[in-house]
A = this chain, B = another copy of it.
Amino acid sequence: MEEQVELVGRAFVEHYYHLFDTDRSSLASLYHQSSMLTFEGQKLQGGDNICSKINQLPFDKCHHLISTIDSQPSSFAGGIVVFVSGSLRLAEEDHPLRFSQG
């Protein structure tokens, strides 16, 4: 069970950031209507709003490099909470940015 949670969490993270880096506009399919994103204080709800925000981020090409993935079963039956940290390399920037996302 613990191992399954790890595997599913890792597969989701790899899929999510692969889409983010290659076809950002298709990320909407990974969110529900009830999904929320808080981005530097701004609250967004629903796949379309969240995806539109991600698409408007002020960089074009990017590459996420994952450092850590911590996965846990969530209080929502069958759900998994995933906490990710890593760095984000932008085509226009020499230095990678550190990021974390839950």
User: Which residues of A approach B to under 8 Å, CB–CB?
Assistant: 2, 34, 36, 38, 40-41, 43, 68, 70-76, 79, 81, 83, 85, 98, 100, 102
Q: Which of A34, A36, A40 neighbours the largest number of chain B CB atoms within 10 Å of its CB?
A: A36
Query: Who on chain B is nearest to A70 by CB?
Result: B38
The answer to whether B75 touches A102, judged by C-beta atoms less than 8 angstroms apart, is no
B residues in contact with A34, CB < 8 Å = 75
| Complexed CA–CA distance, A75 and B73 (Å) | 13
Top 9 nearest A-B pairs (CB, nearest first) are A102-B102, A38-B70, A100-B100, A75-B76, A36-B72, A83-B102, A38-B72, A76-B76, A85-B100
B residues in contact with A40, CB < 8 Å = 68
Contact A72 B100, CB 8 Å, known A38-B83, A83-B38: no
